[in-house]
Amino acid sequence: QVQLVESGGGSVQSGGSLRLSCAVSGYTYSSYCLAWFRQAPGKEREGVAAIDDYGSTRYADSVKGRLSISLDNADNPNALYHQMNSLKQEETAMYYCAAERSVVWSKWPDEDEETYWGQGTQETVSS
């Protein structure tokens, strides 16, 4: 049973930084794509960053240069991290960790019935 548990959310002022973590357990596949998504109030969920087992990464244009996605261990990840700087008020959202067995980068971000999800952690950016 794959389990993803996010932590590290909270409140921060605009321009500040926040680091999120996602504990990964029960993932036994040799290949993976681990990602961060977010959903702001009244908006659709969007992918913000992803990393695969080759070490390739992708970032949404809106966060490039401000967000870094990383793993504790590329061979057998137990934790996924999200370090975001220069936060904006409009980035207030619920942030979710997601896992898939593979990714087609030309189609990312994508979601399907085989995507595993965490419960989310709230990040609030105030002015």
Q: What CA–CA distances, in Å, run from 56 to 39, 94, 122?
A: 24, 25, 27
- Strand boundaries in the chain, DSSP class E: 3-7, 10-13, 18-25, 33-39, 46-52, 57-59, 67-71, 79-84, 93-100, 116-117, 121-126
pLDDT of residue 10: 95
More confident residue, 30 or 19: 19
Tokens matching residue 77: 């990840």
Cα gap 75→18, rounded to integer Å: 26
Mean pLDDT of 7-28: 96
Looking at the DSSP assignment, which residues form a beta bridge with residue 67? 84
Looking at the DSSP assignment, which residues form a beta bridge with residue 82? 20, 69
Mean pLDDT of 77-88: 97
pLDDT of residue 68: 98
**pLDDT beyond 90 at 70:** yes
Half-sphere exposure of 126 (CA within 13 A, CB side): 4
Pairing assessment for the beta strands 67-71 and 10-13 based on DSSP bridges? unpaired
